[in-house]
Structure 1
Amino acid sequence: MSIKAKKILVISESIDINDSSGTKGRVALINNLVEAGFNLKVLHYTSKDIFLEDVDCVRIKERKISILYVLSRMERIFTRATKISLNPYLESWFGFSFTFFNDAKSIKKAVKKEIGNNTYDFVMTLSKGASFKPHYALLDIPEIHDKWMTYVHDPFPYHFYPRPYNWIQPGFRQKEQFFLEVSEKAKYSIFPSLLLKEWMASYFPNFLKTGIVIPHQSAEKDFPTQDFPNYFDASKFNVLHAGNLMKQRSPEGLIEGFKLFLHKNPEAKGASRLLLLGSASHHTEMLEKYKTDIPELYVSNGSVSFDMVYQLQQHVSVNVILESKSEISPFLPGKFPHCVEANKIILSLAPYYSETRRLLGDDYPYWAEVDQVEKIAAIIENLYQLWKQNPDNLNLNRSDLIEYLSADYLKKVLKSI
């Protein structure tokens, strides 16, 4: 069968790129599947009609004539009236909420109808966050398990995250059983990183047999050119971190490194800028103090539109990928493809064992642990001196990574199975 003839039914929890960074990654994968020549149909559970170019997209409607729907709404009304959430108790008993179960049933109904009328070579489930509703739905459709491709974007359940993440969800035993079944019943399991595949296989060994690594996809877009915001001066040496700063991702080491760089290079104060764009509510007090002390620091402490961030990534001097302090980071950050596309040096602040460092290479010089202040300062100083000589010295120039993140590589991987 030619690659052109292969038909894929994609069941995605969302295709609204504005609702999460995870959805941006899933849509990039869908777009590159089309670019690779696959014949796609997408069933999605987004709350509104959304259409993607060259893709047949159908919105799955929520079942509203069911006891689960009634129970989920009663739960919401109770919570709204009493300010008491029943979810922790319900998930402790059943593993998931009534809303989760009703959503999964809604997805199952739509999928069974679709496969009853059409034939597909693969059925791929995509999700976001910690829900995996399409995966749950397909467990109950055994007739397509032999063509099921399940996409595992993050560790699940939450207590399988590496430290410093220490979440334990209500109903964690039921969630473990759910994912054990996913690992055993899906024909193929897709992971965005090799380290994540190996990490999850340490809990669910069958993932080693079924696992395929397909990185977050590069899907360059032509956004309308916008005026730069007033906090950005393209003529300066700009170091940008774009993305939410979770509690476990402290920017303190980066800021201290930048501060030390300025102390050692006072002439750089008028020509340098550190930009932190994205929500940082867990670090507000610390960031406010640093903003007072370091005029060259800009903190948005709130979301910035994806198209603006994407444009800025193309025009800064250095893009930062900041991860948590840990022994290992099995994640491939969603911004990684955007930073590679931007063709700017990536300052990687990550554990020694991390997917970002693995891809950049052991000999990549612009890597440090997130709290290695002096090393971070030295790297920034080195990059600043290169920038002063010629800004083009800070081009990433990694054709191997461009290829790895491309539709062509995606096609090779899927053609090999």
Structure 2
Amino acid sequence: MKILIISESINVEDSSASKGRVALINNLNKAGFDLKVLHYSHKEIKLPNIDCQLIKENKFSILFLLSRAVRISQRISKIYFNEKLEKIFGFSFTHTNDTNAIAKAIKRNQDYKPDLIFTLSKGGSFRPHRAMLKLPELHSKWMAYIHDPYPFHVYPRPYNFVQESYKSKEEFMQLITQKANILSFPSLLLKEWMQSYFPDVTNKSVIIPHQIKVDGELQPLPDFFQVNQFSLLHAGNLLKQRNPAFLIDAFLNFLEKNPYAKTEAKLYFVGNYNEHSALLDKYKNHPNIIIHGYVEYKIIQTIENEAAVNIVLEAISEISPFLPGKFPNCIKSNKPMLLVGPYYSEVRRLLGKEYPYWSEANDSLAIQKNIEELYTIWKNNPNEFKLNRKDLENYCDEIALKKVFDVEVKELLAIKK
């Protein structure tokens, strides 16, 4: 199968989403598919043994000039009126200019003669998807990857909010679900969540979980990380909705109840924490809580492999349909996972309802109990201190990925033809 991939970015340092897209592309390559990647990363980036071409921004269009005029006006006036413009035009001038450039690049590369055109995005952008909507002659080959709920008012609480341009954004996603031949999602719960808002998701969807990505050479551990300790690691951005207060309280109560653990237990927060700086800055000098900002992705992988426990922290909510981008590599590290999140979550669905180290995100007592149980096993039976979930490793590897494309994707392509 020849796959033309349109990815908004393949720069692994710009977002967790881009890390996930690159892992997916690399595993498609490992699975033996013939790939060509068009990307809008704003700089030249090459992936090993893959044909990657940068789509350049069109800086000679009226839309580009309008977008810069808006940007400069907002900077000078300190008044953000882009939302008002989006309410009128549906999208920003920048978004439309970018989309036009991507659409032209897709058309220019049809001599590649792909069997499938696979659009990948990040955040709330979906630029490659909007570009494909401009090319109805290619819709029979189009598979759209929907990585998150969209638009923002269909997110589960507490993430949801209503944009001024909510109606046009809803119509946009409606068109994607109608026009794309195939829809793909990183999680089953996300597919079901979106299907409840957009019925066309039914009977044309496949699940493509985030992929395991392990770089050939692991980087040295940073100086702030201590080995051979009971280290609890939260790696990645702490979004506003993911409140670490209950986790911190649970850890501090654990130390108070088990004072002998103070010499060997550490709670690490590694990644951007701006949304919670008022809370976390209070603990910057705490001997058992280590807080560090952005760290290069390869180093994060090394820390995940060396930590005693990897933490998945989710929002206080009824449901979390998201599969965190770090989930596959946490599975690969083979370390126990401390899951702090809703009863209904994709991570809990995959780990299984019987997985012992889960608690609601606002239940400090349950989190503390799980930390104590993990510490006891780490202290007394270190050889048993493993996750041992080969089934989930297999779920996120290139062999399972190849099966999805060779069976499910091919079947849906054949139905359309």
Which residue of 2 is the match for residue 297 of structure 1?
Answer: 289
Within 5 Å, which residues of 2 pair with 1:64-83? 64-83=59-78
Q: Is it true that 1:88 corresponds to 2:83 in the alignment?
A: yes
Q: Is contact 1:331-1:354 (8 Å) kept?
A: yes
Query: Which residue pairs with 2:250 in the alignment?
Result: 257
Aligned to 1:336: 327
Equivalent position SS for 1:104: helix
Q: Distance in 1 between matches of 2:217 and 2:84?
A: 45
Instruction: Output the CA distance in 2 between the equivalents of 1:316 and 1:391.
Output: 13
- How far 1:83 sits from its partner (Å)? 2.7
Deviations 1:50-89 (A, max 9, x none): 0001110011112233221221122223223323333111
In the alignment, the residues of structure 1 paired with residue 207 and residue 2 of structure 2 have an alpha-carbon distance, to the nearest angstrom, of 20
Q: Does 1:140 align with 2:131?
A: no
Match of 1:236 in 2: 229
Offset, 1:200: 0.4
The number of aligned residues is 408
* CA spacing shift, 1:224–1:367, aligned 2, 3 Å: closer
Look up the SS of the partner of 2:404 in the other structure. helix
Bigger shift: residues 37-46 or 158-167: 158-167
Judging changes above 3 Å, is the alpha-carbon distance between structure 1 residues 285 and 73 closer, same or farther for their aligned structure 2 residues? closer
Letter in 2 for 1:245: L
Pairing partner for 1:358 from 349, 366, 379: 349
| Structure 2 residue 169 is the aligned partner of structure 1 residue 175 | yes
Unaligned runs of at least 5 residues, structure 2: 409-417
Is the Cα–Cα contact under 8 Å of residues 250 and 324 in structure 1 kept in the other structure? yes
Contact 2:219 2:298 in 1 (8 A): no
Is it true that 1:270 corresponds to 2:263 in the alignment? yes
- Residue 137 of structure 1 aligns with an amino acid whose one-letter code is A
Give the distance between the partners of 2:226 and 2:406, measured in 1 at CA.
45
- Provide the TM-score with structure 1 as the length reference: 0.95
Gaps of 5+ in 1: 1-5
- Structure 2 equivalent of residue 50 of structure 1: 45
SS in 2 for 1:149: strand
Q: Is the Cα–Cα contact under 8 Å of residues 243 and 278 in structure 1 kept in the other structure?
A: yes
Instruction: Please list, as runs of the form range in 1=range in 2, the aligned pairs for 1:7-406 lying within 5 A after superposition.
Output: 7-115=2-110, 117-226=111-220, 228-291=221-284, 294-300=286-292, 302-406=293-397
CA deviation profile, 1:353-397 (whole Å, cap 9, x unmatched) = 000000000110111111111111111111111111233322111
1:332 is paired with a residue of what secondary structure? Answer: coil
Aligned-residue offset at 1:138:
0.3
Residue by residue, what CA displacement relative to the aligned partner does 1:211-252 show, whole Å, maximum 9, x if unpaired? 1101001122123431x3332211211110111111110111
Kept after mapping to 1: 8 A contact 2:149/2:194: yes
- What is the SS of the residue equivalent to 1:385? helix
**Counterparts of 2:281 and 2:72 in 1: how far apart (Å)?**
38
Structure 1 SS opposite 2:25: helix
**Contact 2:214–2:301, Cα closer than 8 Å, also in 1:** no
Any conservation in 1 of the 2:218–2:299 contact (CA below 8 Å)?
Answer: no
Instruction: Kindly provide the amino acid, as one letter, of the partner of residue 253 in structure 2.
Output: L
Alpha-carbon distance between aligned partners in 1 of 2:112 and 2:16, rounded to the nearest angstrom: 32
The alpha carbon displacement at 1:303 in A equals 1.1
CA distance in 2, matches of 1:162, 1:337: 23
Residues 295-345 of structure 1, C-alpha deviations (whole Å, 9 max, x = no match): 211112x21111111101001100000000000000001110110111100
Q: In 2, are the aligned partners of 1:239 and 1:317 still within 8 Å (CA)?
A: yes
> 1:263 Cα deviation (Å)?
1.4
Query: Which whole-Å CA distance do the structure 2 matches of 1:394 and 1:320 have between them?
Result: 15
Check the 8 A contact 2:120/2:128 in 1, yes or no.
Answer: yes
Q: Structure 1: how far apart are the matches of 2:71 and 2:219?
A: 42
Counterpart residue identity of residue 392, structure 1: N
What secondary structure does 2:109 align onto? Answer: helix
SS of residue matched to 1:269: helix
Counterpart of 1:407, as a letter, is E
